[in-house]
C-alpha cells in the first residue's frame, strides 16, 4: 500500500535594493565602501520656490567624458546621476494547472488544453517529469489553441516527445508538491524574473525558516550526497543557473538551509533574465505520514 503525504511550501520573495547616496567627497573606494561620484557646490539649487515665485537655475557646466585604462571621468550637469532600479518577481509551479505537452519549437509548445492559460503568464515546460526532468521557463505572448507562444525559453526550446511531458503555470507564492510517495522523486519549480539596471549584476539567494517537517518536527532529511533519490528520505533543489560561484545548486541537488545560499547570478545589466529551482523530494519508506511544510525566501541582491 502506498503511503501518502502532502506538502505545502510558501515562497516569499524579497527585493532588496541598496541605493548609493551621492556624497560631496572625492571619488574613492576601499574593500567595504565605494563612492561612485562627487559634486562641487557652485551655489544655488536648480529648483527653488515660494508662494509667489519659482526659479529654476543652473551653473554653466562643461559636459564631457574622458577615460583611460585606470580611470573614467564624466562631467556636466548631473553627470553622476545613476538611479539603480530593479524588478524581481517569483512564481511557483501551480500543480492544478498541469496539461500535457505534445510538441514544441524554440518559442512554442503545443498542449492538450490551453484552458486557464493567459497572455502574460509564466509557464514551465517539463520534459520527462521526475528526478531527471529537463525544464524551460517562458512568458506567454499569445495563445492560439492548442499552441502557446512564449517570448523566449531559458534554453534552446524544450525537446519533448509527448510522453510524460507537461506544461505548468508558474503563479503565486504557495507551492504544493502534491502527494508524495517513497517510490518516486516528486518535483516542483520555483521560477523568477529579474530586470535590473545594475552594471555589476545581481544574485538571488534562498533560505528556509526550518527543514521540511511535519507537526511533530519530523523532517524529510536534507540531501547530502548531491542526488535526491527515492525511498531513503531526501529533499533538495537544483538551479537552472549553471554558473554559480558560491553554492552547489548549479551542479548538484543541494540542501536548502537557514543560511542564504546563491541560486542565480548575473554580472551585467539584465532585462528579464529568468532562472528557476527544481525542488526534489522523496520521503523515506518509513516516513511518518502527514503534512510537511516550510517557508523558503528568495532574495534579490544587487551588486554594487
Q: Is residue 129 part of the contact set for Ca ion (CB under 5 A)?
A: no
How many other CB atoms are there within 10 angstroms of residue 119's CB atom? Answer: 11
Reference 82, options 219, 200, 223; nearest CA is 200
**Choices 44-52, 94-102, 249-257, 259-267; region in contact with Ca ion by CB under 5 A:** 249-257
Q: Which is nearer to Ca ion, 128 or 197 (CB)?
A: 128
Cβ at position 133, least distance to Ca ion in Å:
9
Rounded to an integer, what distance in angstroms lies between the CA atom of residue 59 and that of residue 41?
Answer: 10
Rounded to an integer, what distance in angstroms lies between the CA atom of residue 180 and that of residue 167?
Answer: 20
Cβ at position 147, least distance to Ca ion in Å:
18
* 179-238 positions binding Ca ion, by CB under 5 A: 211, 222, 225, 227, 229, 234
Q: Which is nearer to Ca ion, 196 or 228 (CB)?
A: 228
Q: Is residue 161 part of the contact set for Ca ion (CB under 5 A)?
A: yes
Rounded to an integer, what distance in angstroms lies between the CA atom of residue 165 and that of residue 178?
Answer: 17
Among 48, 142, 163, 285, binds Ca ion (CB under 5 A): 163
Cβ at position 278, least distance to Ca ion in Å:
15
DSSP, residue by residue, 224-288:
-SS---TBEEEEEEEES----SS-STTTS-B---SS-EEEEEESS-EEEEEEEEEEEEEEETTPP
Cβ at position 186, least distance to Ca ion in Å:
15
Q: Which is nearer to Ca ion, 146 or 201 (CB)?
A: 146
* 251-270 positions binding Ca ion, by CB under 5 A: 256
Cβ at position 236, least distance to Ca ion in Å:
8
Rounded to an integer, what distance in angstroms lies between the CA atom of residue 263 and that of residue 301?
Answer: 12
**Choices 52-60, 100-108, 135-143, 158-166; region in contact with Ca ion by CB under 5 A:** 158-166
Q: Any idea what DSSP says for residue 22?
A: P
Q: Is residue 151 part of the contact set for Ca ion (CB under 5 A)?
A: no
Q: Are 175 and 256 in contact (CB under 8 A)?
A: no
- Which residues form the interface with Ca ion (CB under 5 A)? 128, 161, 163-165, 211, 222, 225, 227, 229, 234, 256
Amino acid at each position: 500500500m502506498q503511503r501518502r503525504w502532502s506538502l505545502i511550501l510558501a515562497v516569499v520573495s524579497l527585493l532588496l535594493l541598496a541605493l548609493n547616496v551621492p556624497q560631496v567627497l572625492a571619488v574613492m573606494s576601499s574593500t567595504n565602501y565605494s563612492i561612485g561620484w562627487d559634486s562641487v557646490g557652485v551655489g544655488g539649487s536648480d529648483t527653488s520656490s515660494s508662494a509667489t515665485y519659482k526659479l529654476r537655475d543652473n551653473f554653466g557646466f562643461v559636459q564631457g567624458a574622458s577615460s583611460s585604462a585606470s580611470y573614467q571621468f564624466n562631467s556636466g550637469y548631473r553627470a553622476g546621476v545613476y538611479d539603480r532600479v530593479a524588478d524581481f518577481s517569483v512564481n511557483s509551479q501551480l500543480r492544478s494547472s498541469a496539461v500535457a505537452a505534445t510538441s514544441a519549437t524554440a518559442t512554442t509548445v503545443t498542449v492538450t488544453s490551453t484552458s486557464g492559460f493567459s497572455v502574460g503568464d509564466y509557464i514551465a515546460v517539463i520534459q520527462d517529469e521526475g528526478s531527471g526532468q529537463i525544464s524551460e521557463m517562458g512568458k506567454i505572448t499569445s495563445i492560439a489553441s492548442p499552441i502557446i507562444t512564449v517570448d523566449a525559453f531559458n534554453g534552446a526550446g524544450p525537446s519533448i516527445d509527448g510522453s510524460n511531458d507537461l506544461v505548468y503555470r508558474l503563479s503565486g507564492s504557495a507551492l504544493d508538491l502534491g502527494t508524495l510517495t517513497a517510490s518516486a522523486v516528486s518535483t516542483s519549480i520555483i521560477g523568477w524574473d529579474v530586470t535590473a539596471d545594475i552594471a555589476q549584476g545581481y544574485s538571488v539567494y534562498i533560505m528556509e525558516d526550518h527543514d521540511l517537517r511535519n507537526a511533530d518536527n519530523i523532517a524529510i532529511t536534507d540531501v547530502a550526497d548531491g542526488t535526491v533519490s527515492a525511498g531513503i528520505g531526501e529533499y533538495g533543489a537544483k538551479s537552472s543557473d549553471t554558473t554559480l560561484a558560491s553554492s552547489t545548486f548549479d551542479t548538484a541537488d543541494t540542501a536548502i538551509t537557514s543560511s542564504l545560499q546563491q541560486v542565480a547570478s548575473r554580472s551585467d545589466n539584465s532585462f528579464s533574465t529568468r532562472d528557476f529551482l527544481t525542488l526534489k523530494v522523496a520521503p523515506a519508506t518509513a516516513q511518518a505520514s502527514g503534512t510537511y511544510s516550510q517557508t523558503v525566501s528568495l532574495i534579490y541582491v544587487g551588486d554594487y
